[in-house]
Amino acid sequence: MKAPKPITSPVPEAWYPTLSVIMLAIGLVVTASFFIYEATSSRRNRSLAKELTTGAVASVFLGFGSLFVLLSSGVYV
């Protein structure tokens, strides 16, 4: 029988800090655009699909950015 291969990350560990900064920055920009859209559009002109899409994109980027912050600081989740 062959020895099992160790489990490794698909992303090199050296990229964790860079990925965290990039993803958090994108997530914060999308979040800011969501708040600006909500503050400047009237109730009749708002689109539920645009709100859900923007919120989902921001959530994904902020979630993965937070994950890479934790991984780069040594908290393995």
**pLDDT tens-digit readout, 13-66:** 999 999 999 999 999 999 999 999 999 999 899 999 999 999 999 999 999 999
Is residue 28 within 8 Å of residue 73, measured between CB atoms? no
The pLDDT value given to residue 76: 85
How many CB atoms sit inside 10 A of residue 58's CB?
Answer: 20
**Residue 77: CB partners within 8 Å, gap ≥ 6?**
67, 70, 71
Q: What is the pLDDT averaged over residues 2-20?
A: 92
